[in-house]
Amino acid sequence: MYKKAKFWYIDNHAYKFYSKQFKAYLEMNCIPNEPAEGEDEYIKNWKRLSSRVEPYSYRLFSKYFIEKEMRKYIVPEDIGNTVIEHYLNPIQYKAFYKDKNMFAKYLTPKDSLPKELLRRIDGGCFLDAGYKVSKINGNSSQYEIAREFEECQRIIIKPSANSCSGVGVKLFTRTQNSQGESSFADENGIYLNGGYLNKYNYGNNFVIQEAIVQHPYLSQFCSTSVNTIRLCTYRSVLDEKVLVFAAALRIGHEGSVVDNLHAGGGFVNIDVTTGVLGHVIYDQYGRMSDSINDIDIHNDFQIPHWDQIRDFGISIAKQNRHMRLLALDVTLDIENHPRLMEYNVEQFAFWIPMFMGKRVFGDRIEEVIEYCHCKLLLDHRI
């Protein structure tokens, strides 16, 4: 009974939270909050996974799914987060797969990631790229750190655990003083030294990487941030095939270091077969426009080396053995190599593909619902 009560509490909290959120989105987008065509069938379908199905997701996203038969692919965000994610990405393994400091331990090839320089795991010693104790410590000066990373002009420090939405990501650029001594400073003139690392907001868990020089084709959309490609992947519970069911180019707001949508960025659909960009920019609320950073998205754009990028995402998805549902953020560097910036194993953001009118889980949605339904029965949640 305790287990069922705990799940009921989580499900009920999510139901209330997302009901409130999507009601606000309906109002923001001037969409009437009233029953939409096909809503009854939608609720009946998803009741296999929850006794209560909020209708506001359907009322919102049905406006983005032009073809009525496609609306069965609309996923209620609360059910997606509390049921589908729970069973496709088992919670007991999430802490390991979420930790960016673990990526280099199991992901291949080794150049899948940006070049790593320094890390800290759970408040321990500062470690180098090879997980050995580094020369750098809490007493290191800004000049010692600059000498240690002498090949780098720009470096990024980011939290490696319990992070999201680009919070805590900082860019440091090499500078020189009048004596010719080098150090790294952020946009506010704060220098990177051992004391900073000890006091860093995520000081117990962080990784420092050399800043990626992104491909000039991607840089044209925003020069100050690395514009990442969101690949939505699902590894089938029936045959282990990895499906890339949606893709989007996330574009930063000019002047921002991150491309995160909550930091003023936008996203545009990418055709998963061809790499061709759509002609609509979406913000985090689903509001549409035809330009960003003075770039007219009506022009024809196509992501270079698209097949290579897509296959790279599939390879990464196959290596996450316990996680079946991934939101990968990938970029293309100046040497035409795909690089994994991060991936998400929770809070999947089903709303990104749904705002673009894409089929969540592609043609595999029924197998996902049936799989989760069986798991719910075994857990006595329904």
Structure tokens belonging to residue 273: 């077969």
Can you give the pLDDT at residue 13? 87
The pTM (predicted TM-score) of the whole model is 0.93
Chain position carrying tokens 């006091």: 199
Structure tokens belonging to residue 361: 């889980």
**Distance from chain centroid for Cα 233:** 12
- If you ran DSSP here, which 8-state letter would residue 262 be given? G
Cis peptide before 109 (omega within 30 of 0): yes
Which ranges of 288-364 does DSSP label H, i.e. alpha helix? 306-319, 351-355
pLDDT digits (tens, 9 = 90+) for 247-277: 999 999 888 877 667 667 899 999 999 999 9
Can you give the pLDDT at residue 9? 47
Q: Return the beta strands (E) in the chain as ranges.
A: 116-120, 126-128, 154-159, 170-176, 182-185, 206-210, 229-235, 242-251, 266-269, 281-282, 288-289, 291-292, 295-296, 325-332, 338-344
* Structural domains present in the chain: 2-74 (no CATH), 91-110+214-345 (3.30.470.20), 115-210 (no CATH)
pLDDT digits (tens, 9 = 90+) for 62-105: 999 988 889 989 999 999 999 999 999 999 999 999 999 999 99
∠ CA(369), CA(341), CA(265), 5° rounding?
Answer: 80
Distance (Å, rounded) from C-alpha 165 to C-alpha 187? 20
Can you give the pLDDT at residue 365? 96
> Helix (H, G, I), strand (E, B), or coil: what is residue 172?
strand
pLDDT digits (tens, 9 = 90+) for 140-154: 999 999 999 999 999
Can you give the pLDDT at residue 166? 66
Distance (Å, rounded) from C-alpha 78 to C-alpha 351? 11
pLDDT digits (tens, 9 = 90+) for 357-380: 999 999 999 999 999 999 999 997
Low-confidence ranges of the chain (pLDDT < 70): 1-10, 164-166, 201-203, 259-260, 262-263
Can you give the pLDDT at residue 264? 73
